[in-house]
Structure 1
Amino acid sequence: MGGVPRVVLDLLRNLPKDKFEFTLMLNLYQGELIQDIPKDINLITIEKGKEQMSSSPIIQKMQLAWRRLKLEIYDRFPSLLYAIKVPEQYDIEVSPGYAEFDMVLNSPNKKSRKIGWFHSDVGYDKDEDRVMSRIEKMKRFDFMIFGSKQTRQVIEDLYQVTYPKSTVIYNVIKVKEVLKKAELFVHNYNTKFPVFSSMGRLHNRKGYHTLMNVHKRLLDDGFLHKIAIVGGGNEMENLINQRKQLGVEDSFILLDTQTNPYPYIKAADYFILPTQSESYPLVIGEVMCMRKPIISTNVGGIAEMIEDGIDGVLIKYNENEMYEAMKSFITNPTLVQKLIGGTENAENKFDENEIYRQITEVFENQYKLKLKNERV
């Protein structure tokens, strides 16, 4: 479950099959989106997921240890991985995110064109060694795709590194699909107070701990409301503990991961994204097309999606700005109605066919370069 896997699956469903034959390679066959893998593509699975393992805790622990060892061996000896799991030669190998950079760059298939995809804001990451490692790896790709203009520009601004062989392609936002899913069932928060929803992976950089502090301040100041978060992740336990300490168990709702999150967003009055780091988050476009008033931190490529004061409100990542923006939504219905009106033509912002065309063009050009190199 996650933004990048959803983007990959959408591309596998919609890029032209008369031009490309696709193979998806998974390190682990697990996750909520497994069921959404298209049936008409080739699938390579390196290791089983937990769902295919023994229900016995002891046996499963041994299976997990053995799986981890094999993955470490494959990581160290990619030629062995390809000999066992990847019998075919491919024209193009794509890394959909930085987590897969090494796997693609270390492929023993030397003739394939290597394409990297980068969705992250390096301005947020304070680990300079890690950032420089990723920047250097991106130089080794034959071509780079960046998920927003800001994602590429911030690397140049902070590290004076440019990528002449690159382009910016936004992630596809499936407007009609989202609107249809939002109608599949009705959710009711059973409250007379306004509800803010949010959706994202529960990670420290997503800012939900800060949102909870602001939530508590607003309640203490008499601005009654609820917040509902759709998403799971390693911050769940910390947020549960923080919620208990602040005494907001009834008003800060943690809904965990939901296969269909959209009815929960539809049932809310507003949407807020309190993140410290993003590239081009799908959820902003999805919620905008659901015609929900949005508050979002101005990070990554979000300013390329939201026109501040027209179809959303952009804020800095700090408690005071978040407090004032949420307070204005609760107390100023005129502002809320203006923002809802601003989303009237939101669907026109997100032309999925143009994005498919851009990606098709990149793949075709890289294939032509491969053929050219082979003739030389």
Structure 2
Amino acid sequence: MKKKLLFVIPSLAAGGGERSLVNLLSQIDYSKFDVDVFLFHQVGMFLEHLPEQVSLLPHPINYRRFILPLSQSLAAFLSRGQFRLAYRRLRYAMVHRTPLSVGEREQKAWKHMAETLQGFTGVYDTAIGFLEKTSIYMCVDHIRANSKIGWIHNDYLKLETNAAFDQRYFRRLNHIVTVSDECAATLKSVFSEQSNKVSIIHNIVSPNIICRLAQHVQQDLFERRDQETVILTIGRLHSQKGLELAVEACRILLDRGLSIQWNVIGEGEERESLDRLIDRYRLGQSFRLLGLRSNPYPYLHQADIYVQTSRFEGKSIAIDEAKILNKPIVVTNFSTAKDQIRHDVDGLIVGMNAESIADGIMRLIENKELRNRLSQALSGMDLGTEDEIKKLYQLLA
């Protein structure tokens, strides 16, 4: 008999965790597993990449009313005499306006959202909260399953959450999965009582799929000017990604007389502030926010250098993908950078400031021998991680 699995994640919008889930689902043996997915928001460019064997669960009716804009939500509840849920919706909105960290706001908001997610009738062999915080809370509080897994995709200490709040949920999990050695060490340090539950499953990436998708577009996507060097960054427009450092580094490189264009694939809440910064530095022709791309691999294939300016990461899928396409890579020295890049062997790790980022890029631009050496080192590596699915199967046994 097939085992029944449920994966819970906020959405399938652009992001490393979301892409990681789609990659994982592409590797599952559907002759052995029936798989459901619950999304808090049924949106995102990765929706179209869900395998056809996966069932997307509908939203409960009260949750559909809850996620309406505030005035519409209140009207929907009040007109039906659901005064308690109207109060919860109002309190939820107020929590999100408090001066707490994003992580703590999400934790405090959960109890107000949670009532609208009651009543799931399905019973699963395993329920998996595939992203930290709300996805895990829902699996623990509202899903009936023989075992429950929480998946942490980032350095826990950078999430700015209340560890005591999470401790109550982690005690009720059977397994806690994370994506790198550094992330696992942090979890074991913060949650020492739960350290025996922590496992590492690296993000699944497939060189065959990535190389095939990279060839889908043949024309030059970047409209190069003369001998221009094309730099690419992939990531959400979010403070975590440090993109204002990228804008500043771009200005520094141009002031040094280098001919470059820097492109960013991604979308997010910092677009307006980044647009203003781009205007301030007069970079309209040199630093481009391309928005979302369902297939970023032709862009990555055609770029000369890949740069990741993050403040923190769990394990960056974009870096792994750049490695598969043998790109010279520059990354900032976030806590897990050394889990993916060996400095001066298969990439460069630089300081987390615009000057150091510019120095690293300039070094690659001016040193063709170094670029070739880094690319050759990557070309000789076995970078596929499809077998990571076997680690998940062991937890599901």
User: Could you say which TM-score interval applies, normalised by the shorter chain?
Assistant: 0.7 to 0.9
Give the alignment partner of residue 216 of structure 2, picking from 162, 180, 184.
Answer: 184
2: CA distance, partners of 1:263 / 1:81: 40
Coordinate RMSD, CA, aligned: 2.8
Query: 1:286-325 alignment to 2 at 5 Å?
Result: 286-325=321-360
1: CA distance, partners of 2:158 / 2:299: 29
Contact 1:27 1:45 in 2 (8 A): no
Contact 2:346 2:375 in 1 (8 A): yes
Question: Which moved further from structure 2: 66-75 or 32-41?
Answer: 66-75
Counting aligned pairs with the same residue, the percent is: 21
SS at 1:243's partner residue? helix
Would you say 1:2 and 2:36 are equivalent positions?
no
Residue matched to 1:94: 128
Would you say 1:148 and 2:180 are equivalent positions?
yes
Residue matched to 1:339: 374
Question: Which moved further from structure 2: 158-167 or 86-95?
Answer: 158-167
Deviations 1:5-50 (A, max 9, x none): 22222222321223222111122221212222222222212179xx
Query: 1:29-178 alignment to 2 at 5 Å?
Result: 29-46=42-59, 76=112, 81-83=117-119, 86-99=120-133, 100-107=135-142, 109=144, 112-125=146-159, 127=160, 130-134=162-166, 137-157=169-189, 163-178=195-210
How far 1:359 sits from its partner (Å)?
0.8
2: CA distance, partners of 1:167 / 1:211: 34
SS at 1:29's partner residue? coil
Deviations 1:304-333 (A, max 9, x none): 222221111112312232121111012111
2: CA distance, partners of 1:67 / 1:283: 42
Query: What is the TM-score normalised by the length of structure 2?
Result: 0.80
2: CA distance, partners of 1:268 / 1:64: 45
Question: Which moved further from structure 2: 300-309 or 251-260?
Answer: 300-309
2: CA distance, partners of 1:161 / 1:218: 49
2: CA distance, partners of 1:43 / 1:251: 41
Question: Which moved further from structure 2: 326-335 or 131-140?
Answer: 131-140
How far 1:298 sits from its partner (Å)?
2.9
Residue matched to 1:55: none
2: CA distance, partners of 1:118 / 1:19: 25
How far 1:66 sits from its partner (Å)?
6.9
Structure 2 gap ranges (5+): 1-13, 78-84, 93-109
2: CA distance, partners of 1:184 / 1:121: 34
Would you say 1:256 and 2:269 are equivalent positions?
no
Report the CA distance shift for 1:134/1:211 in structure 2 as closer, same or farther (over 3 A). Answer: farther
How far 1:156 sits from its partner (Å)?
4.2
Report the CA distance shift for 1:66/1:291 in structure 2 as closer, same or farther (over 3 A). Answer: farther
Query: What is the TM-score normalised by the length of structure 1?
Result: 0.84
2: CA distance, partners of 1:18 / 1:255: 39
